């Protein structure tokens, strides 16, 4: 076993001791159930940890992560997480968090082939196509990359709003707010893109479900 791997188990023991020192009922209370107010949909990137960035504790954030924080409406994993979060846990906020320097977004801007992931990256390429006028107008490569990270995140918030799960919740009068954030790897700060949706009339009428 590598030292790194052994260290993980040691770290776990230390963490348990520390938590119990702060609150002897910490694990007992968590074992009773969860009522997180937030669903986080973020990138799998190891540098974007949801709880650390938001200063939230275990039990406060329900999390779904994939490459480039995509909301793909045929992705059963995402739909299951979303359905459970909205209809069982009754989260009040959903944040889609993109990040500058995202490898998935970068790959979507080029023509490289990386294996099966190409099929996932295709969804990000669709996002580029929907926003190509805005993006192609930016000459500087870094600026265009940053803008694409932002526009892709906005597109995924829109994709969330288009789901029957979110539209049903709104129709039933459930309080549910959707937000788009971008995290800066260089700074640690998040930027709220202010794509705040709280009802389906915010969507293009073609996507408004009559439910």
Annotated catalytic residues are 43, 45, 47, 99, 102
Give least dist CB 146 to Zn ion, A: 13
Residues near Zn ion (CB under 5 A) are 43, 45, 102
Print the SS3 string covering 101-154. CCHHHHHHHCCCCCCCHHHHHHHHHHHHHHCHHHHHCCCCHHHHHHHHHHHHHH
Taking the C-alpha atoms of residue 70 and residue 81, their distance in angstroms, rounded to an integer, is: 13
Contact in structure between 66 and 79 (CB atoms under 8 Å): no
Give least dist CB 103 to Zn ion, A: 6
Give least dist CB 63 to Zn ion, A: 15
Give least dist CB 46 to Zn ion, A: 10
Per-residue tokens: 159: 């994709």
User: What DSSP designation does 92 have?
Assistant: S
Judged by beta carbon, residue 45 or residue 155, the one nearer Zn ion is 45
Taking the C-alpha atoms of residue 109 and residue 148, their distance in angstroms, rounded to an integer, is: 9
CA-to-CA separations, 115 to 15, 101, 107, 124, 149, in angstroms, rounded: 38, 21, 12, 15, 22
Taking the C-alpha atoms of residue 128 and residue 135, their distance in angstroms, rounded to an integer, is: 8
Taking the C-alpha atoms of residue 103 and residue 122, their distance in angstroms, rounded to an integer, is: 14
């Amino acid at each position: 076993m590598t030292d790194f791997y052994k260290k993980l188990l040691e770290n776990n023991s230390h963490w348990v001791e520390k938590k119990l020192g702060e609150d002897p009922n910490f694990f007992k209370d968590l074992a009773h159930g969860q009522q997180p107010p937030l669903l986080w949909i973020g990138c799998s990137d190891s540098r974007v940890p949801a709880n650390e960035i938001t200063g939230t504790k275990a039990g406060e954030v329900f999390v779904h992560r994939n490459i480039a924080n995509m909301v793909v409406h045929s992705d059963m994993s995402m739909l299951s997480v979303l359905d459970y979060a909205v209809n069982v846990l009754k989260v009040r906020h959903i944040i889609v968090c993109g990040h500058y320097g995202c490898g998935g977004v970068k790959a979507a801007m080029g023509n490289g082939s990386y294996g099966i992931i190409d099929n996932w990256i295709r969804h990000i390429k669709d996002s580029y196509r929907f926003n190509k006028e805005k993006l192609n107008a930016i000459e500087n490569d870094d600026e265009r990359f940053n803008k694409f990270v932002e526009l892709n995140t906005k597109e995924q918030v829109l994709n969330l709003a288009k789901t029957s799960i979110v539209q049903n919740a709104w129709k039933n009068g459930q309080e549910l707010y959707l937000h788009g954030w971008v995290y800066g790897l260089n700074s640690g700060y998040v930027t709220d893109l202010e794509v705040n949706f709280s009802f389906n009339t915010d969507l293009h009428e073609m996507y408004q479900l009559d439910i």
